[in-house]
Amino acid sequence: MSSRAVLVTGAARGIGRATARAFAEAGDRVAANYRSSAREAEELVRSLPGSGHLALQADVSDPGQARRLVEEAAAGLGGLDVLVNNAGVSLRHDLVQDDFESWRAAFERTMAVNFYGPVHVTYWAVRQMLGRGGRIINISSRGAFRGEPDQPGYAASKAALNAFGQSLAKALGGHGIGVMTIAPGWVSTEMAQSELDRNGGAEILSQSPFGRIARAEEVAAAAVYFASPEAEFASGAVLDINGASYLRT
């Protein structure tokens, strides 16, 4: 398989970082997007195997920056074959206790990054893929299905992302563009570790019969598979990676 041009949003840390590395290890050229973690993103790019990788700054929630990101990635990589929409935030907002402005601000920021960010980036990425085909892989969450009472905006944004991806799978299949979604539960990242530390971790770990949470590399492996030629007919799929911690029908 020839080297592909891959854009991963939110690649400085966690799932995005592991995904960028997994694609580079598969021989692909990677554009690692970051919003504010320049040092981490640049260190990642230097450490990736192969050549031609880029670290690109953009806040995907801003439409203009999202367009610039895709155009810079395509120019630097020589096109665009795979987009992984990973950038996201998780902000607590309590409907009962928060004042309206604080609650609204957290909800809207969450939607802006987690849902409108992928919407913005995907629009311009599709323009690069038309006529050549490609893959769009969205990183969602089990929260889209089970609900998140402490951060309803997070659950709402991920549920919207699921529906968006399935709509695009219908719309873009005829253009040779597959659209898939990965819905992890808890994943071993810096964001998760703070929550594990705060809660002692035992309840979270006990949610899965395996007694652990996912590794970022497990999510990354699924993204690499979805980008493969063998996965084309998985377009429209939403894959749970939560260790049977939440089962949906």
Q: Domain with 121 in it: what CATH number?
A: 3.40.50.720
Q: Could you tell me if residue 56 is inside a domain?
A: yes
Type of residue at 127: R
Q: Choose, from 34, 116, 123, 154, the residue flagged as catalytic.
A: 154
Tell me the H-state helices in the chain. Answer: 14-25, 38-47, 63-77, 100-111, 117-129, 143-146, 152-172, 190-199, 202-206, 216-226
Question: What distance in Å separates the CA atoms of residue 86 and residue 104, rounded to the nearest whole number?
Answer: 23
Domain total in the chain:
1
Type of residue at 122: T
Structure pTM? Answer: 0.96
Residues of the chain with pLDDT > 90: what percent? 92
Span 173-225, pLDDT tens digits: 999 999 999 999 999 987 777 777 776 688 899 999 999 999 999 999 999 99
Residues of the chain with pLDDT > 70: what percent? 99
Question: What distance in Å separates the CA atoms of residue 108 and residue 129, rounded to the nearest whole number?
Answer: 30
What mean pLDDT is predicted for residues 20-43?
98
Predicted confidence at residue 80, as pLDDT, reads: 98
Question: What distance in Å separates the CA atoms of residue 53 and residue 43, rounded to the nearest whole number?
Answer: 11
34 in catalytic set: no
Span 44-90, pLDDT tens digits: 999 999 999 999 999 999 999 999 999 999 999 999 999 999 999 99
Q: Which two tokens stand for residue 45?
A: 């790019």
pLDDT reading at 129 higher than 90: yes
Q: Could you tell me if residue 26 is inside a domain?
A: yes
Closest CA to 178 of 132, 125, 221, 236: 236
Q: Could you tell me if residue 80 is inside a domain?
A: yes
Predicted confidence at residue 73, as pLDDT, reads: 98
The range of the structural domain enclosing residue 153 comes to 5-241
Average pLDDT of the chain, as a whole number: 96
Q: Could you tell me if residue 248 is inside a domain?
A: no
- Asked whether 87 and 60 are in contact (CB, 8 A), the reply is yes
Q: State how far the alpha carbon of 96 is from the alpha carbons of 3, 93, 106, in Å.
A: 51, 9, 14
Q: Could you tell me if residue 246 is inside a domain?
A: no
84 three-class SS: strand
Q: Could you tell me if residue 22 is inside a domain?
A: yes
Q: Could you tell me if residue 247 is inside a domain?
A: no
**Which residues, listed in sequence order, are joined to residue 179 by a DSSP beta bridge?**
136
Type of residue at 201: G
